[in-house]
């Protein structure tokens, strides 16, 4: 193993990394819930949508508004790290793995990142016009951005759920938006130095940081 990688493994995860990673798991948990029940809390959905418009935040926390807005994501992450996930949550973990994989592919495609940035600026102006980031037209626009960019990668995330819900355009659009938000959070996690093997080798440190954030 390269020395630089050994050093990275020995580095303790930071508070900012945990915040970003919680954003990933919150979005993925909401995807699973929406696909299987047809509904999710409006406030949690809005946190994910608003994060897409935070392209130049002053802090990691600002991307999600506050740490308190990520309680679901932190709970889900803690359950994963303590191996308390149930069969019902297996899809959330699979979505998170897929989201992290796609975020890496997106980071390597500067042209696509630029296109997404430009279209998010347009969507931001649209949200201002409607005075809501979760307006139906804004959600449809964000879902289309996802389809025109990330959905063109060969790797696709297959969402499991009740067909009656998944076939509804409004739910399908919200699922795409949530996956989009998960990828945005995963990119932030990578930019902050997060690595997939941290989830395996740094569980105790991750849990310690989670405990600090939740107290």
Mean pLDDT within 36-43: 96
Across residues 133-155, what is the average pLDDT? 97
Cα gap 64→49, rounded to integer Å: 9
Give the integer Cα–Cα distance in Å for 181 and 196: 18
**pLDDT at residue 86, rounded to an integer:** 56
The predicted model gives 138-155 an average pLDDT of 97
> Which pLDDT band, with edges at 50, 70 and 90, does 204 fall under?
confident
pLDDT, tens only, 73-109: 999 999 888 876 555 568 999 999 999 999 999 999 9
Phi and psi dihedrals of 59, rounded to 5?
-155, 165
- In three-state secondary structure terms, 18 is helix
Full-prediction pTM beyond 0.75? yes
Closest CA to 149 of 73, 52, 47: 52
């Amino acid at each position: 193993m390269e020395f630089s990688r050994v050093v990275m493994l020995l580095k303790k995860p930071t508070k900012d990394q945990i915040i970003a990673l919680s954003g990933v798991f919150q979005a993925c948990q909401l995807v699973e819930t929406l696909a299987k029940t047809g509904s999710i809390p409006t406030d949690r959905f809005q946190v994910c949508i608003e994060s897409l418009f935070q392209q130049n935040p002053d802090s990691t926390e600002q991307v999600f508004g506050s740490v308190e807005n990520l309680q679901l994501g932190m709970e889900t992450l803690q359950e994963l790290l303590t191996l308390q996930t149930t069969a019902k949550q297996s899809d959330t973990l699979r979505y998170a793995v897929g989201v992290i994989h796609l975020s890496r592919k997106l980071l390597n495609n500067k042209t696509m990142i630029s296109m997404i940035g430009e279209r998010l600026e347009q969507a931001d102006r649209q949200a201002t016009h409607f005075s809501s980031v979760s307006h139906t037209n804004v959600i449809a626009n964000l879902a289309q951005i996802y389809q025109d960019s990330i959905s063109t990668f060969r790797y696709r995330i297959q969402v499991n759920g009740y067909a009656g819900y998944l076939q509804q355009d409004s739910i399908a659009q919200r699922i795409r938006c949530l996956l989009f938000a998960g990828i945005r959070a995963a990119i932030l996690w990578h930019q902050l130095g997060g690595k997939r093997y941290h989830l395996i080798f740094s569980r105790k440190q991750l849990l310690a940081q989670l405990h600090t954030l939740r107290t």
